[in-house]
């Protein structure tokens, strides 16, 4: 029952984020702010605290990393307001108010208050608007975040518990689930880093998230090059960071998402078998994730697993590119499928 509830909650969360992206005002900008905040806090924490500070035992770097990792609420508050074209001064005020909150409640609070800030800036005379913002916005923002924080915490905890239950009972099933989820969300504005941070996964599941995202970069690089999706620089760019080529990816969703999901399952099982761990949150990213591995595992085990995932991804990417080209599947999309169905039904 716990797995069903947690899985259903995760599905609803992902659907809600997709709907937000599609229909909410400034939806794409909001999710970009969320992803940017994760990059600005979790990545520096992982590198400085666990890689440089941990491996070389430099306490200053560990302290700096932990400090950055604790400022997720501030980062997402500032970035969300800036993405929504709010005054930088207002953005900093809102970000500082959200110091004690995690990413999601802070994001919702900053997103909602941004509309009020824009209204105040438009309607209140210049010079008086800053005073009105100071008197009104911080309290409202803090109140919104405080009100929704318990519910969001309970929801994310339920998802995290469900993932732990699946991992305890069948680690390879969890590997398959994360092997699909992380690479695919990493190719959308939802961002695999944000999803990983929401789930709160660490240990072997986080290692799965990091290396399956890395594997997806190899798969996408091969598919872009072999299928002629963009030019050679685009193939390199998608291999470094899929989100840089999101405009190309959305043109071929069936081909790219399905191949990455299938290869991700295999890569997830490889990482599960290796037993590697990452005890840092939100590092499901192609380049930084594999590097952070070395802060928690022996160099030899890390290198062997990274090479195995890279080779597996490259080979399967090449094989699927042959299949797609041979059967001319590159031209299939959702619209053509639905047109085909409507024609057959009318006949």
Each residue's pLDDT tens digit in the chain (347 positions)? 666 777 788 778 878 887 888 899 999 899 889 888 888 888 888 888 877 887 788 899 999 999 998 999 999 999 999 999 999 999 999 999 999 999 999 999 999 999 999 999 999 998 899 999 999 999 999 999 999 999 998 888 888 888 888 888 899 999 999 999 999 988 887 788 888 888 889 999 999 999 999 999 999 999 999 999 988 888 898 888 887 788 788 888 889 999 999 999 999 999 999 999 999 888 898 988 899 999 899 999 999 999 999 999 999 999 999 999 998 888 876 555 555 555 555 55
Model's pTM, two decimal places?
0.83
pLDDT (0 to 100) of residue 45 = 86
CA angle 287, 288, 292 (to 5 degrees): 130
pLDDT (0 to 100) of residue 189 = 74
pLDDT (0 to 100) of residue 124 = 94
Contacts of 314 (CB under 8 A, 6+ apart): 218, 219, 222
Structural domain spans, the chain: 27-156, 170-333
Sign, CA dihedral 151-190-302-293, equals: negative
Q: Backbone phi, then psi, for 305, in 5-degree steps?
A: -70, -40
pLDDT (0 to 100) of residue 246 = 80
* Pair of tokens at residue 317: 């990417």
Mean pLDDT of the chain, nearest integer: 89
Give the separation between CA 101 and CA 79, rounded to whole angstroms: 15
The secondary structure of residue 50, as a DSSP letter, is I
Give the separation between CA 126 and CA 260, rounded to whole angstroms: 52
């Amino acid at each position: 029952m716990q797995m069903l509830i947690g899985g259903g909650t995760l599905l609803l969360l992902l659907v809600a984020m997709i709907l937000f992206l599609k229909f909410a005002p400034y939806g794409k900008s909001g999710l970009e702010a969320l992803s940017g905040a994760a990059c600005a806090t979790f990545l520096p924490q992982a590198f400085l605290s666990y890689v440089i500070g941990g491996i070389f035992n430099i306490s200053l770097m560990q302290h700096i990393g932990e400090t950055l990792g604790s400022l997720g609420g501030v980062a997402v508050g500032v970035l969300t307001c800036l993405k929504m074209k709010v005054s930088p001064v207002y953005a900093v005020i809102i970000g500082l108010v959200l110091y004690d909150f995690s990413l999601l409640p802070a994001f919702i609070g900053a997103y909602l208050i941004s509309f009020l800030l824009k209204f105040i800036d438009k309607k209140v005379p210049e010079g008086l608007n800053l005073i009105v913002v100071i008197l009104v916005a911080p309290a409202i923002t803090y109140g919104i975040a405080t009100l929704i924080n318990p519910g969001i915490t309970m929801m994310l905890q339920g998802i995290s518990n469900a993932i732990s239950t699946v991992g305890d009972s069948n680690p390879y099933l969890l590997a398959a689930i994360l092997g699909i989820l992380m690479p695919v969300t990493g190719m959308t504005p939802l961002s695999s880093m944000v999803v990983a941070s929401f789930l709160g996964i660490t240990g072997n599941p986080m290692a799965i998230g990091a290396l399956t995202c890395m594997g997806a970069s190899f798969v996408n690089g091969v598919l872009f090059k072999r299928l002629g999706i963009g030019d050679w620089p685009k193939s390199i760019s998608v291999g470094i960071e899929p989100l840089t080529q999101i405009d190309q990816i959305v043109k071929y969703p069936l081909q790219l998402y399905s191949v990455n999901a299938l290869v991700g399952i295999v890569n997830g099982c490889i990482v599960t078998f290796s037993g590697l761990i990452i005890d840092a949150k939100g590092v499901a990213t192609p380049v930084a994730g594999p590097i952070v591995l070395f802060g928690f595992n022996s160099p030899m085990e890390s290198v062997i697993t990274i090479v195995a995932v890279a080779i597996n991804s490259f080979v399967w990417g090449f094989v699927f590119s042959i299949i797609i080209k041979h059967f001319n599947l590159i031209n299939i999309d959702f619209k053509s499928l639905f047109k085909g169905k409507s024609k057959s039904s009318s006949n």
